[in-house]
Homo-oligomer: A and B are copies of this chain.
C-alpha cells in the first residue's frame, strides 16, 4: 500500500476538488455559482460535474426558476463520505510538512 493509496483519483483535480468543497459547505450550488467561484469556463464546469456525477459523488437537478433553466448540484451521501476520506488522505500526506 503506497502513501497515495487513499487519494481518490476522482477528486484529483483542482476544479473537482473545488466543486466538492463547495458542495460540502453549501447544501447545493448551481451552474453559475460553481462557474464564478471556480473561475472556470462553461465547458469546464460541464465536464467536471459530469465526471463527478458519473461517479455518483454529486447529483444534478434541473428545474426552471421563473422562466430560466437552472441546474443545481448536490453532493451525495457517497460523495461526502468519499470526499472526507480523500481529505484525510491528503492531510496525512501533506500534514508532515
Contact surface of A with B, Cβ cutoff 8 Å: 1-5, 7, 9, 12-15, 17-18, 21-22, 24-25, 36-40, 83-84, 87, 90-91, 93-94, 96-97
Interface of A is mostly: helix
Assess whether B90 is in contact with A90, with CB atoms less than 8 Å apart: yes
Which of B3, B4, B14, B84 is close to A4, meaning CB atoms less than 8 Å apart?
A: B14
Q: Are B87 and A25 in contact (CB under 8 A)?
A: no
- Interchain CB contact under 8 A, A3 and B90: no
Q: Give the docked Cα–Cα distance between A83 and B82 (Å).
A: 25
- Report whether A17 and B21 are in contact in the complex, using a CB–CB cutoff of 8 Å: no
Task: Give bound CA distance, A36 to B5, whole Å.
Answer: 12
